[in-house]
């Protein structure tokens, strides 16, 4: 267990101490659950009510909130970010020794950095390159010629297919599949003929890939995920997609083939993008929304419909099927009323 004083934290991550700088911290917690050696944070106004009763050793908050707080505090611009940094400091990843577990299967021609770890039951094929400080957990598969950049972590049961590239400091969660074949077929009468998928997946640095997420290799050319992209669980990225820097996607997002997505975009859970579209930088698509045309301007886009009590919904949903007819009825009414107003004869 690491222990640090408020003062040390303030010095290390830049922040202003309010109260007792010698107070020792050795854990992080929520305002509601914190004990007397924990630091908590306040980023969301709806948690103000916990400020008076928290037992936390100190609270990370901003200049506005510190005014109403009499306890110990670290005053910072971005409490959530600051909290993330302190939480990481106080909860370091478990230590591990480099090496290759005796139960792993590593091809002779694979190049494994001296500071890397290849876990139990993991398979590394010919020509793969595993960088410095890489941690490959149990049951992973790194196929021929794949590359894992320095400092990356494949947690467990991760598949990286032939020739694919994972950048530096990436985290790939269990069950993720990097570089499976894209869904490409040509028609031959009624049959489908597989189109060989010859490209790779190339992940930049600091890319996180969630559990059971799948990223398909390019058909011709590569599927490219730029630096700093964060993908949640159970996402599908089809072949030849390009995702710009620092874009983030929540669970179940589906991106069809050859879509080009800009930088700093966000996609809520279950958002989808149809194939071959382009999405500008700084576009935010709300959860459950479907993008079926290119988006050229930054902004927030949506087509999500919230549920209501099922009886009421059924009536409204049935009316959607009559909408076009309804619009025509309204148009006709408008014409009739206009003629009534103008005193014309109506038949």
Q: Which of 157, 239, 276, 284 is catalytic?
A: 239
Cα separation, 344 vs 337, whole angstroms? 10
User: Rounded CA gap, 160 and 174, in Å?
Assistant: 12
Residue linked to tokens 């009624």 = 190
Nearer to its own copies, 17 or 76 (CB): 76
Between 67 and 187, CB nearer to its own copies: 187
Q: Within 13 Å of residue 339, how many CA atoms lie on the same side as its CB?
A: 9
DSSP string for residues in 126-142: TT-EE-TT-EE-TT-EE
- Nearest-approach distance from CB 208 to its own copies, in angstroms: 7
> What does DSSP say about strands 290-291 and 117-118: parallel, antiparallel, or unpaired?
unpaired
CB 30 to its own copies: min, Å: 5
Could you give the count of Cα atoms lying within 13 Å of 199 in the half-sphere of its Cβ?
22
Beta pairing, strands 4-5 & 24-25: antiparallel
DSSP calls for 53-103: T---SEEEE-HHHHTT--S-EEE-S-HHHHHHHHHHHHSPPPP---EE-TT
What distance separates the 2 farthest-apart alpha carbons in the chain?
A: 95
> Of 70 and 314, which has the nearer Cβ to its own copies?
314
Nearest distance in Å: CB 260, its own copies: 14
83 and 28 Cβ atoms separated by less than 8 Å = yes
For the CB of residue 38, give the shortest distance to its own copies in the complex, in Å: 9
- For the question of residue 239 being annotated catalytic, the response is yes
Shorter beta-carbon distance to its own copies: residue 67 or 321: 321
Q: How many CA atoms lie within 13 A of 336 on its CB side?
A: 8
Q: Closest CB to its own copies among 70 and 96?
A: 96
CB of 109 to its own copies, least distance (A): 14
Residues labelled catalytic? 239
């Amino acid at each position: 267990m690491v222990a640090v004083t408020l003062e040390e934290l303030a010095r290390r991550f830049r922040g202003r101490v309010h109260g007792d700088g010698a107070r020792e911290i050795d854990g992080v917690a929520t305002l509601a659950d914190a004990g007397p050696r924990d630091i908590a944070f306040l980023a969301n106004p709806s948690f103000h009510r916990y400020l008076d009763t928290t037992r936390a050793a100190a609270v990370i908050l901003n200049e506005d909130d510190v005014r109403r707080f009499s306890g110990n505090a670290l005053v910072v611009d971005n409490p959530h970010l600051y909290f993330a940094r302190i939480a990481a400091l106080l909860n370091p990843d478990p230590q591990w020794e480099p090496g290759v577990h005796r139960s792993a299967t590593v091809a002779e021609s694979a190049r494994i950095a001296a500071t890397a770890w290849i876990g139990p039951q993991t398979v590394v094929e010919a020509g793969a390159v595993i960088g410095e400080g890489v941690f490959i957990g149990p049951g992973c598969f790194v196929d021929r010629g794949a590359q894992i950049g320095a400092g990356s972590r494949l947690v467990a049961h991760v598949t990286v297919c032939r020739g694919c590239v994972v950048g530096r400091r990436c985290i790939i969660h269990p069950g993720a599949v990097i570089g499976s074949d894209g869904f490409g077929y040509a028609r031959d009468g009624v049959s489908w003929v597989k189109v060989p998928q010859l490209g790779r997946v190339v992940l930049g640095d600091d890319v996180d890939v969630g559990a059971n997420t799948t990223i398909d290799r390019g058909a011709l050319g590569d599927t490219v995920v730029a630096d700093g992209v964060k993908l949640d669980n159970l996402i599908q990225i089809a072949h030849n997609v390009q995702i710009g820097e620092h874009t983030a996607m929540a669970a179940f997002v589906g991106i069809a083939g050859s879509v080009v997505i800009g930088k700093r975009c966000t996609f809520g859970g279950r958002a989808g993008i149809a194939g071959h579209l382009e999405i500008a930088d700084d576009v935010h698509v709300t959860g459950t929304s479907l993008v079926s045309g290119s988006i050229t301007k930054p902004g927030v886009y949506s087509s999500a419909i919230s549920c209501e009590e099922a009886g009421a919904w059924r009536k409204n949903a049935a009316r959607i099927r009559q909408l076009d007819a309804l619009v025509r009825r309204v148009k006709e009414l408008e014409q009739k009323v206009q003629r009534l107003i103008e005193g014309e004869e109506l038949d």
